Each structure stands twice: as C-alpha cells, then as structure tokens.
Amino acid sequence: MKQTVSCRRCLLARLAALLLWAGSLLWLSLTPSPPSPPSEILSWDKLQHAGAYALLTLLAGRFISLWRPLFRHPWLCALVIAVVFGGLIEILQETMTEVRRAEWGDLAADAAGGMVVFAAAIIREHWLGRKSSEQ
C-alpha cells in the first residue's frame, strides 16, 4: 500500500513538473518581451529553443514512462508531444501576438532539442537492457 502512495506521489510530481514547464514555455513564448539571460552564449535564440524543448521532452518522457504497459514507446510519445507543442506555440505566436512571429528555425531547434533527449533515452534503455540480460 505504501508503494501505491509513493507511485501516486511520483506521478503527481512528474505531472506537476511537466505542466509547470509547459506553462512557463507558453508564457515565455507569448510574452512581448521575455527576460533575457545574462550570458551572451545563453542568449542565442536557437540554443534556448533546443534546451527548453529538450527539458520538455525529458519531463514528458519521465511522466509517460510511468505508464509503460500502455505506451510501448514513451520516449517517442514525448518527442511527438514536444514537437507538436512547439508547433502550436509557433502558430499562437503568429496569430495571437503583435510582436512575435512564427519561425521554421525555432521549430527545427525545438525538434533538435527533443531529438537529443530521445536519442539519449533510447541509447540508455538499450544499454540498460543489455546489462540486465548479461547478469
């Protein structure tokens, strides 16, 4: 019974982290003048997109992986969610803001960040699967 409570807490914590990050991305993407980082390297727009969507993919993958029997490929689902979310935000920027514009480059950077996490997760699962079968 204690394990169920622990799993429920884990589920809620992962869901909260995912929703908070997605909400933050939405706000940062639709605000007319988002805050800028102090470092010149970190202020590069495409790096910000890749990092933000890498984290979104990671949070979504961790959340979805709790339902592995339902989702055979949780990391692929997480990647699709991140890219679709990025695409929706680009559409919202074009249609709902006066200052922000949709850019294909932003969506490509979003997808690239998500792909890095997806590839790392697949490699990690493959490596861990091989290690467990060797024992």
74-110 pLDDT, tens digit per residue, is 999 999 999 999 999 999 999 998 888 889 999 999 9
Tokens linked to 50: 């890749």
C-alpha span between 45 and 51 (Å, rounded): 10
**Residue 121: what pLDDT?**
95
Q: Enumerate the domain spans of the chain.
A: 2-134
**Residue 126: what pLDDT?**
85
Q: How many helices (H) and strands (E) does the chain have?
A: 4, 0
Residue type at 29 in one-letter notation: S
Residue 58 has pLDDT above 90, yes or no: yes
10-28 pLDDT, tens digit per residue, is 889 999 999 999 999 999 9
Task: Give me the mean pLDDT over the 19-40 stretch.
Answer: 85
